[in-house]
Every structure is written in C-alpha cells, then in structure tokens.
Amino acid sequence: MTGWLYRALVRPLLFRLDPEFSHDLTLTALGIAGPTLARLIHRTADPRLSLTAAGLRFPTPVGLAAGFDKSARALWAWPALGFSFIEVGTVTARRQPGNPRPRIFRLPEDLALINRLGFNSPGAVAMARRLAALRREPRRYPIPLAVNIGRSRAASNDEAIDDYLYSFEHLQPHADFVVVNVSSPNTPGLRQLQMRDAIVPLLEALRARNLALGEKPIFVKIAPDLTDAELEDVVEAIGHRVHGIVATNTTLRRDDLKSPARDEPGGLSGRPLQARAVAIVGRLHRLTEGRLPIIGVGGIFSAGDAYAMMKAGASLVELYTGFVYRGAALPRAIARGLLACLDRDGFKTVADAVGVASRSTVSSGPPR
C-alpha cells in the first residue's frame, strides 16, 4: 500500500473510529495477515543501510517503537513491512489492565498523539510463553526483537528492583535485547526511577542477573523532560551498567498545540516532540562521547527526520506516531530516503553519518 493510498483512503476510515479500537483492529488485521506477508515479501535491504549496535546486526536503522505492539500480536507483519527491529511491550511483571478508557487521543492538527495507557500488559509470564512459541517456529524470526519492561502499578518504587527482576528473568531469554522503561509519564512515580539514587541499584541488579542468565544488551529508556543537569546525572549513573539508551519517551509538555485534545492528561508523541528528541540525542551523544548506541524516538515522519536524528547521534530510530499518520509504507520509504541522503552527502554507509552534527568539527559530508 502506497503512502498516498493510506492517507487518502485508509486513514480517514480509521480516524473515524475510536483511537484504541482502531489500533486494536489494525493489530488484529496485521496479526492475521503477518505470516502470509512474511512468506510473500522477500526484500533485501541495501547493505549501505546495515549497521551493528550493541553487538547486534540491523538490516536498516528503522524499527518499531514500544507501545505499538504491546502484547506481540503481529510479530510477523513487522519485518514484512520493512522494519528492521521491534520493541514489544511495555511488559509488567503481573497482568494489569492499565488506565480507564478513553486513554488515546489524536491531535491531527499537530500530527501528534496523547496516550495515558498506563502499561496495559498481559504480564511477564504470558508474554514469555508467546515469545517462546515464536522462537520455536520453524522459520527464524528475521529481525532483532527487544522486550521493553516497566514497573507494575501495584509495586512501589521501593519494590521496583524485585518487580523489574521478575520480568527480566522471564523475558530476557526470549529477547535479543531488553529495554528498561523508567520514563513513562503514565505510571505514578515511575520517572523518579531515573534519579541517581534509584537507577544505580536498579541497573546493578539487572546487570548482575543479566550476566547470570547469559549477557544480552540492556538499553534504558529516558524521558524528554529531563533538564540538562538531570541528563548529565543519568548518563553518569548508567555508566557501564547498560549497553545503550533509548531517547526519548513521550513528553508532558504542551507547547504551541492547536488540537482540541491538547489538554488531555498523558504523554504526548509525534511532531511536537521532534526538536526536543533530536536535541537530547545530540546531548547524549556528546556526553557519552559516542560510546553508547542511542535509539532515537520522537516525531519521525520522513527520511529527513530520521537522518537528522542519526546525524545528532542516533545509531537507530523508531517509529510510532509517524506510522499512525503515514501508514505501512513509511518504513521502506524512510530506508529509500536515507540512501538518497547518503548519496547527497557523500557517505558510504549510514553508520558514517551517525553523530556528525554533534561532533566538534562538522562538515556537510564525511570526514576528509
């Protein structure tokens, strides 16, 4: 399906429906069609787009962000649509329903969404069974799969370590990498876990358990609303304890929005988050001196958006709101557009462009 067809015909129909019902309907359709799509669609990405991050090989830099396929309902559809990796979840230790409905709101005038889902999750045990069944499939799952884990609503921050460890122990064996979500605005108190006195013991506990299980990459997902001082503290605190960073989660800011739903409580995603997310990725790249791979998330609607995020310092990018507004053709369109960006600027591979805008000396092309 072309992007034009989606925007002209499919999106208007979906946008007539309740946002969460529309989302569930889409996942159901993709879950049914996914295995067939996976067999029918065989496209090899251009090798110039392939890169390695945290020891994992990615066919292109374009992935699907956590929150879209929370319960791993449409796994075979994502590689068929051109995604090169996926995050499922956020998954909590125990099954929980999340916040009361309605809890997703479209802001079409702003190309944005607000959600206050609150980690609706099947629970770690159920998700582990689902992913174990995937790994038993005769066909190997073709792209890296991450599991995003978060604190249960019923657990206090004092109980957070045990809560995260429970999820981690069940899910790490079935994931290619794990993302630790300490930044959702929709679970009360969760963002306090980003602070030094909380995040250090949490990551130390996860690191020890990770080594015991057989080490796999751990990423930590941070909020876009951190101050520069808080961002420096987070980077210093995570230190050698993680293998990468996901930047960023949704924001609580409501700057210059036009849509009637702008005052709904919850996390804002989409176009209004783009500039802030790129700035944070650049700041993180400089603070870490490029040592940690960064997954850039926030307001990516085009190849130009993805390229700006990568030049700021992201090795990989993820889509969510852009996928809602632009449709299933977007992952491949971004990949094609990235090739055009590389050709324009004289880079041989996409990895060569990572961080060029955040270095002390920057040129319009590759280093001479």
| Closest to 112 in 3D by CA, of 226, 269, 342, 233 | 269
The residues, ordered by sequence, that sit 6+ positions from 232 with a Cβ below 8 Å of its Cβ are: 287
> What is the per-residue pLDDT for 201?
98
Q: What is the pLDDT of residues 261-285, one digit of tens each?
A: 999 999 999 999 999 999 999 999 9
Residue ranges of domains in the chain: 3-358
Q: Which CA distances in Å does 46 have to 23, 59, 304?
A: 31, 8, 18
Helices assigned H by DSSP within the chain: 3-5, 11-14, 19-40, 77-80, 124-135, 160-171, 196-213, 228-238, 274-287, 303-312, 321-326, 330-345
The three-class DSSP label of residue 211 is helix
Which member of 167, 184, 269, 358 is catalytic? 184
Q: What is the mean pLDDT of residues 194-214?
A: 97
Mean pLDDT of the chain: 94
User: Token digits for 113?
Assistant: 């969404």
Using pLDDT thresholds of 50, 70 and 90, give the confidence band for residue 40: confident
CA angle 165, 141, 222 (to 5 degrees): 40
Which amino acid belongs to residue 278? Answer: V
> What is the per-residue pLDDT for 1?
55
Note the pTM of the prediction, 2 decimals: 0.95
Using pLDDT thresholds of 50, 70 and 90, give the confidence band for residue 4: confident
The three-class DSSP label of residue 243 is coil
* Residues 298, 281 contacting (CB under 8 angstroms): no
Q: What is the pLDDT of residues 297-345, one digit of tens each?
A: 999 999 999 999 999 999 999 999 999 999 999 999 999 999 999 999 9
Q: Which CA distances in Å does 167 have to 52, 121, 146, 201?
A: 27, 12, 13, 16
The Cα 232–Cα 189 span in angstroms is 21
Q: What is the mean pLDDT of residues 237-243?
A: 94
- CATH classification of 3-358 is 3.20.20.70, yes or no? yes
Q: What is the mean pLDDT of residues 130-142?
A: 93
Cβ neighbours around 4 below 10 Å, total: 10
Of 29-43, 99-113, 178-192, 309-323, the least confident: 29-43
- Is 184 a catalytic site residue? yes
The residues, ordered by sequence, that sit 6+ positions from 229 with a Cβ below 8 Å of its Cβ are: none
